[in-house]
Every structure is written in structure tokens, then in C-alpha cells.
Amino acid sequence: MKKIIYLLSLVITVSLFSCGGQKTTNETAMKESNDINKMPEAGPAPKIHFQKPIVYTLDNGMKIIVVENHKLPRVTANLNIDTPPFNLNDKKGADDLLSSMLGTGSKNMSKDDFNEKVDFYGARVNLNEGGFYINSLSKFFPEVLELTTDQALNPDFKEEEFQTKKKELIEGLKMQEKSTPAAASNVLNKLAYGDHPYGEITTIEKAKNITLNDVKDYYSKVYDPSRAYLIVVGDVKAEDIKNQADKYFANWKKPANPITAQLPEIKNVPETEIDFVDMPHASQAELKVAHRSDVKMSNPDYQKVLLMNSILGGDFNSYLNMTLREKHGWTYGARSSFGTNKYGGLFRASTSVRNQVADSAVVVTMEQLNKIRNEKVDDELLNNTKQKYMGNFVLQMENPATIARQAYNIYVNNLPEDFYETFLQKVEAVTPEDVQAVANKYLHPDKARIVVAGKASVIVPGLEKQGYKVKFFDKEGNPVAAPKTNTKLTGNIKASDVLDRYFKAIGGKEKVQNIQSVEMSYEGDFQGNSLKIMKKAMAPNKEITETQMMGMTFSKTYFDGEKGYQMIRGQKKDLTEKEIEKAKKKSQPFPLMGLYKTAKLERTENMDGKDYFVLSDGKTEYYFDAKTGLLNRTVENIEMNGQTFSQVTQMKDYKEYQGVKFPTVLIVPAGPQEIILKLQEVKLNSLDDSTFK
């Protein structure tokens, strides 16, 4: 059975997890230099020719930004509405519903007719609470713009459509309840932003109470032409766009009561604290470090902070990623960023790690935040970072959309007109002393919240040993009491006692030992595709396991007791000597028999109000129900591409087959969703050696 679980884990991990590094070379520099180990000399910041966008302002205050580019017969258009955030309180979620309802019909055209015409023109259109996006052939752009504008400015909010979208929102929130990243993000936003509107989170209870009138009211406040920017890039004439805007947006009026709310200050905590969200079923822990960001685009230190953050956690080769990922192999990535939103933002550093190393990851993350404050950056590292920024900047300037976006940023953030013209010179002028100075000025690990969402029983003891004060919160950021985790069970219990109780619970050790072969199959659904896993195992150590998706073999393992192979997506690989030795120990009808020699009782644990004995063989933890003796779940550490992650599998609803009980349901998390596999067939003592020829 464990081999079935392993193969299922493999299917999921191959599908959901992938990573790769980037290898960059400079062939020209290599040819020009006699020393291939010497980096080329960095030149001065390149001079960039800036194409000036054409800007119009309509009578209602709306700005039109046009960048003509006639290389391709295509046009993109973005309507961005710069709405200040405001508190929705118990109506939070009305913004999500507005985004989902725009484009579902206007007073002049139904949803189906709108979608049909957009498809006819071969365009891509997306509407949301902050405006819309269009990608269209230039010859059809006037028609597509008219259609989209009608949907945005004349929405026909129907109750039936609202109820459908509301149901979808609630179902989505229910799916996120088991998501560790979602829980960490919600708690971080609520605690770090406080009373600021960005701290509001959408909950199921709030969503249930929202009415169609709430959505209409929200729309009437945020759709304000005086805060709107239409950015058009492509094969157009600026004068034609102005005429079209005058025609389609002329009747768009300002709200009767425009938003004027004063935003509260975002406050840091007096000293570092850990805010913990217990996710007892989580296989991974989510770690986020955050405090208020005082960096806006208008800040004179902006370029210095960009480079500092790139070195800290903004790039693949950053302090955080190279330490947490490359040195320790704890994660697939670690990143940091400074929010520059003019209405308020946070500095964030985040990563996902196994529960078992989460406490160590917290320590290492804080070490790197302090390192960039306490140590000057290496000259070569800083110069390489500058060159990357300047190279990316030059490449981006070849895209006309960059010109339009820069013009938009200048207006929205009240930047000087030469902000981008002097950008590279300011980047080039940054020194190691500047990096250290802005790190000390804007980075505050001593006043940061460390939000950890994961398995408290595994993580919290290690955090407490580090001297951190740990506060506990539920998934919505409400304070709660410390969860009951480990518990003391009476009696001098050993691992062998736990295993004896397990085999007794499934039918008896003697009966199990008399079974020479097991043939079984599980079926389920994976992302809408049928999934089937079949296992054939015979004593002492022969096994065939096959995983099928949509009726086709996805993976297969074969071991005849002496040799074997693995095949994934048609790629066949013979087992190594190490894998053969492992197979000899694990490939048997009931692999848990092998735990008598390899497992030890790691701890006792309380989860969901039940007590469990937790055994470990060094790679996998096994949770045995202290009351029934049955195996409830496994947590296996799986290595892939130099990284290690944990895969949880739950076993439920044991049923007896020929006197021996097997779990009829296996549950494996796949992101915020779950794969549920149901037992279809069990055959005992039905195989012989010919099966493995």
C-alpha cells in the first residue's frame, strides 16, 4: 500500500512541482577576452531614446495615453482606474463579485452576444473592478473598444448572474480553507495592515451576506472617470483614439459622492513577534516576514532600494534564495519585495518549507535580513546586479507598452517628467555604502511580524527554543489560544507495541503473514482527469505498480526481487543499486511489516481532537490512531531536483477483505484541492511468479 502512496505522490509532484535554474553567458565578452574567467568590464549606463506618448484629457477628467507603433497590426488597451482604497467592512467581497460580474451583460447587449462578437473579432477582453484590458487586431479595435466600453459603463447587474457568481466565490473560499499559503496571506494582511483597507479579507460569512445592491453601490463609487486612464498602444493614430474616447466615454459622469476617506497609518510592531496559524494537516509550512514599507516611487532612494532588495531577495542569486534553496535545499524559492503603492505597502520576505525545518528557516531568513544591514555588499555582486537592471531596462524599452506604462506611473505617482530618463544614471551611481545605508533605513527585522502557517506540533517547539514569543491566530487573523498538540499517553509504549496494535486492528499479524500476494486498485480524479493506481505485490519482495491517467500509463515501477526499473511518461530508467536495496526491503504485500526493524516512536500528538502515535523511519512519519490502532496518515519527505518537500496521504474508511482490513479511501492534497482515491478491488493470494517474469 505504501508503494501506491509513493507513486501517487510522484504523479502529483511531477505535475505540480518543477524548478530550474537559469544559466547565462556572455559569448561576445568571452571571445574578446583572453581570460575566460574574467568578467567583462562594466560600461557606462546606456543612453536611451524615449518616445513621448501623446496624452489627452477629456472633459470628465479621464486621461488618454497613446503610443503609436505600426510594426504589427495589433492594439492593446488598458483602462486603469486609480481608486483610493476604502473599507468595505462586512461587505468585503463586493469588490471580488464586481470583477466577476463585469462583462456578463450590459443594458444594451447580453453576455452571450458580447462574447460571440468578441470571438468573431478574434480579440481578448477582460473586465474587472479596476477597468479592462483589450488585445485586438487594429482594424477591429474601434468595434471591440465600443463593445467593451458598453459592458464597463452600462453594466446590467442581474440577480440570477449575481447569485451564480456569489456561489462561485463562496466555493472558492471553501477550497482555500485548507490552503496554507492562503491562510498565511490572510493573517499577514489583517495583522500587518491593521485598520487600513488593505487589511480586510473576504470570508465565507461576509460573502454570504453581500447583496446585489452592495455590488451596485461599490461600482458607483469606484468607477470614476476623473481617476481613469485609458492606455492605448499599437497600430493606431492618436487623433483617432481621442475621437473614439470622446464618443464612447463622453457620458461617463463623476460619482455624486467621490471617495475621500483618510487612510489610517500602517504601524509596525514594537518588537519582532511570531504570529502562528496552526494547520494540523499541512505538509508544508508557509513563512512570511513583513513590516511597513516606506518606499514609494517618488522616494529619492527608490533606485537604491531596488538594488538592495534585488541582492536580498529579489533575484534567483539573492541572499535569501541562495541560502534557503541552494545551500540548505529547504525550498523551491525564497523572495523579498518592497511594496511601493502610494496608498500603502509592506516589505515582505516569503518562502515555503517542510514543517520539520520551518523553525530553522525562520532563523536563517532573519540572519539574511540582518546580514545586508550589517555587512557591505560585495563590489562584484553589486556591479552584476546593476548590469542586470540596466540590461532589463534597455530590453523593456523596446516594448511600446513600456512607454505607456511609464507615462501612467508618472501621472499616478506624481513623478518628475524625467524620472525614467535619469533612471539608469541613478542606478549606476549606487555604491555598496548606499546599499547598506538604505538597508538600515528601510529594512526593520527588529520590528517585523513573522507569520508562520503550518503544523504547530512540529514547528512551535523549535521556535520557542529560539526565544521568540509566539502568538496564535485562526485562518482569519483572530487571536486564539495555543492549540493542543503533543499529549502524554499512559503506559511505556514502544514502536513495536504501536505496530502490534495496528496489525491486530486490520485482522491479526498471523493472518497478514500468511498472505503471500496482494493485488489492488484505486481510482479517482485529478484536475478533471481520471486517475487509476494498480499494485501487484508478492512475498518476499516482488512488486509492480502502475499509474494511469485518462487510460494511459503515466508511470510504472517493476521489481522482480533482484532487478527492476521505473518508467515515467515513457522514460524508462533501471533501478540503481541503492534503489534495489530499498526495493528489497519495501516491496512486499504489507510494507509496514518492515517498520519493526526501522521505525521508532517519535512522539504522541493530538490532532482534530484525537490522539495519535507518530512513528518515523527517518523518511516518513506514520500516524496511528491511539484509540483504533489504524494508520490514519503518512507524511513522506520526497526529494526532487535537489529539494525536499513533504507529501501527506490520509487513509480513511477501512473495510474488511477476506478477513483483512484495507483503507477504502486515500486523500492526497494537490494545492488547495484534494485528490480522493477510492478502492475498487482487492485480491489476496492470487499471484504467482509468472506475474513478475
Residue 306 has pLDDT above 70, yes or no: yes
Q: Residue 377 falls within a domain, yes or no?
A: yes
- Whether residues 132 and 154 share a domain: the answer is yes
Asked if pLDDT for residue 654 goes beyond 50, the answer is yes
Contacts of residue 510, Cβ cutoff 8 Å, sequence gap at least 6: none
Residue 606 grid coordinates = 493530538
Confidence of residue 278 (pLDDT cuts 50, 70, 90): very high
Least confident of 11-15, 480-484, 585-589: 11-15
Res. 48: pLDDT tops 90: no
Looking at the structure, do residues 415 and 507 belong to the same domain, yes or no?
no
pLDDT exceeds 50 at position 33? no
Q: What percent of the chain has pLDDT over 70?
A: 91
Q: Are 333 and 19 in contact (CB under 8 A)?
A: yes
Which of 445, 473, 501 corresponds to the end of one domain?
A: 473
- Among 103-107, 237-241, 279-283, 628-632, which is the least confidently predicted range? 279-283
How confident is residue 113, by pLDDT bands cut at 50, 70 and 90? Answer: very high
Q: What is the pLDDT of residue 236?
A: 96
pLDDT score for 3: 39
pLDDT of 472 reads 97
How far, in Å, are 124, 129, 145, 534, 653 from residue 77 at the CA level? Answer: 11, 16, 8, 52, 55
Question: How many domains is the chain partitioned into structurally?
Answer: 3
C-alpha cell at 3: 508503494
Domain assignment present for residue 44? The answer is no
Query: Does residue 451 sit in the same domain as residue 366?
Result: yes
For residues 538 and 463, membership in a common domain is answered with no
Q: How sure is the predictor about 45, in pLDDT bands with cuts at 50, 70 and 90?
A: low
Residue 682 lies in a domain: yes
Q: In this model, does residue 692 exceed pLDDT 90?
A: no
Question: Is position 195 within any domain?
Answer: yes
At residue 303, the pLDDT reads 96
Least confident of 6-10, 253-257, 672-676: 6-10
**Whether residue 645 sits in one domain with residue 579:** yes
Are the C-beta atoms of 551 and 531 separated by less than 8 Å?
no
**Whole-number average pLDDT of the chain:** 88
Q: Between residues 287 and 549, which one has the greater pLDDT?
A: 287
pLDDT band at 59 (very low <50, low <70, confident <90, very high): very high
Residue 504's H or E segment, with its range, is helix 495-506
Domain that holds residue 614: 2-13+487-692
Task: Identify the pLDDT of residue 16.
Answer: 31
Q: What are the φ and ψ backbone dihedral angles of 597, each rounded to 5 degrees? A: -95, -25
Whether the per-residue pLDDT at 644 is higher than 80: the answer is: no
Closest by CA position to 97, among listed 199, 259, 217: 217
Q: What confidence score (pLDDT) does residue 8 get?
A: 43
Q: Which of 199, 234, 249 is the last residue of a domain?
A: 249
Alpha helices in 43-179 (DSSP H): 94-101, 111-120, 141-153, 159-176
Instruction: Using a pLDDT cut of 90, give the percent of the chain over it.
Output: 68
Res 630: pLDDT: 96
Q: What is the pLDDT of residue 5?
A: 38
The answer as to whether 58 is a domain residue is no
How far is residue 580 from each of residues 568, 587, 597, 689, measured CA to CA in Å? 18, 10, 18, 19
420 assigned to some structural domain: yes
**CATH code at 292?**
3.30.830.10
- Measured between its terminal Cα atoms, the distance across the chain in Å is 22
Confidence band for 426, pLDDT divided at 50, 70 and 90:
very high
Dihedral angle sign, alpha carbons of residues 267, 269, 274, 276 = negative
Contact 140, 94 (CB under 8 A): no
Residue 581: is its pLDDT beyond 90? no
* Same domain (yes/no): 446, 556: no
* pLDDT at residue 399, rounded to an integer: 83
Lowest mean pLDDT among 310-314, 391-395, 569-573, 583-587: 583-587
Residue 134 contacts residue 145 (beta carbons within 8 Å): yes
- Answer whether residue 436 shows pLDDT above 90: yes
Q: How confident is the model at residue 580 (pLDDT cuts 50, 70, 90)?
A: confident
Model pLDDT, residue 641: 63
What CATH code is carried by the domain that includes residue 492? 2.50.20
Better-predicted residue by pLDDT, 175 or 268? 268
Binned at pLDDT 50, 70 and 90, residue 29 comes out as: very low
- CA–CA distance, 340 with 443 (Å, rounded to integer): 14
Section 5-27 average pLDDT: 37
Nearest 5°: phi and psi at 5?
-60, -40
**Which of 419, 441, 473 is where one domain is finished?**
473
Res. 488: pLDDT tops 80: no
**Cα dihedral 461, 465, 468, 474 in deg (nearest 10):** 0
Do 463 and 317 fall within a single domain? yes
pLDDT higher than threshold 90 for residue 177: no
Asked if residue 278 and residue 396 are part of one domain, the reply reads yes
Give the confidence band of 529 by pLDDT, cuts at 50, 70, 90.
Answer: confident
Q: Is the domain of 536 the same as that of 632?
A: yes
Q: Are residues 513 and 436 in the same domain?
A: no
Structural domain includes residue 45: no
Residues 371 and 279: their CA atoms lie apart, in Å, by 31
Q: For the residues 57-68, what does the mean pLDDT come to?
A: 95
Identify whether residues 303 and 427 lie together within a single domain. Answer: yes
Q: Is residue 437 part of a domain?
A: yes
Whether 289 and 352 map to the same domain: the answer is yes
